[in-house]
Homo-oligomer: A and B are copies of this chain.
């Protein structure tokens, strides 16, 4: 497969796609000072500067180092910006990334330019299939880190005493609020195919496409709103152990959870920290920044359950990929539009599924160090589907499998309930 044949979902030539993605990362970093880009507020999050460097390292390591003519930018970056690829040797402790004042941000930008120039050379000519595949993987890898840039800086700013805003609010848009209660869409079950197929890009964990057997089920037309979640809270949701998984109860108790992350009580009202700073909680917006444990407890309280990832995928395959994505630069979920069918399956909030993250039947990780990309995390995590308001639109698809540990809350994670279809 030559590079001229390979194109992204958006129809761009690979080099254009490369440039576009690289530019988008830098756009996300633009509102941030060099100091902002240093902050690591917890081991799970990384500094913006590190994201900018690590995504560059990925191209250098997996694409450029195979070319004899390529001169590395800095001898130590080889290991300094390795995240977790054990086959490539040592790497710094993840929790120490916030202490790297050197290389400077300026130097990281120079690194980006150095690698961009070399990548342009590679992608302008006739690249072989392996280079094309790896460069394409690098582009999707960088998109993943774009989402993390947003979620990590949101957390970083929330942890600071001055609570700065990442960006100014976008212009207000026409109101569209769904005042009707959430409805259901029914699916008949049976043998269905899930997983990726075709020539377009997908991660190895979406493959192979295979058949699953589903029971009849119903899926909520929209995700749970703040107002609905508040009803759960007011009904003692965080104090009733019987609603929770045992590990979830322990986590909630030890970490003192009594609301979603970023919610703050002020007198009788709730306020919420957003990328634009703190503001009033909007009841019609999707609830966001909840853990799997909270999603699961909420569903149990509702007499429902979370969907299986296969149920979600089968349903999502029937709707168009459109919604509130990173491109809008709102970085906050929107209230659902009125309607009867499935709404906002893509964008707004990642939807927790009831499915632990495991290999598909016949799964084989990619060869070499990139084989560590997905497979080695298939344990103690749950699958999320659909993308969020921080996901680039061209990055998401119905078969896409995101995954996080059940206690994670700093991603834009929400809840869509499901239930068995009873006769």
Contacts and interface: CB of A to CB of B under 8 A. Distances in A.
A362 B101 contact: no
Interface string A105-128: 100000000000000000000000
Interface residues of A, number: 63
Interface stretch (A11-19, A92-100, A135-143, A282-290): A92-100
Given A34-B33, A34-B35, A161 B79 contact: yes
Nearest to A49: B35
B101 A38 contact: yes
A356 interface: yes
A356 B293 CA distance: 16
Contacts of A249: 86, 376
A416 to B, nearest CB: 18
Given A212-B213, A354-B358, A406-B380, A159 B35 contact: no
Interface in A69-115: 76, 79-80, 84, 86-87, 92, 96, 98-105
A314 to B, nearest CB: 14
Nearest to A35: B101
A221 B38 CA distance: 47
B101 A361 contact: no
Given A242-B86, A245-B376, A156 B354 contact: no
Nearest to A48: B101
Interface of A: 33-41, 76, 79-80, 84, 86-87, 92, 96, 98-105, 156, 159-162, 164, 191, 210-213, 215, 241-242, 244-249, 292-293, 354-356, 358-359, 361-362, 371-372, 376-380, 406, 420
List 8 A-B pairs, minimum CB-CB distance, nearest first: A86-B241, A356-B356, A213-B213, A35-B101, A36-B101, A246-B376, A80-B161, A245-B379
13 contacts: A33-B34, A34-B34, A40-B99, A41-B99, A86-B249, A96-B159, A100-B161, A101-B156, A102-B164, A210-B215, A246-B376, A246-B377, A355-B358
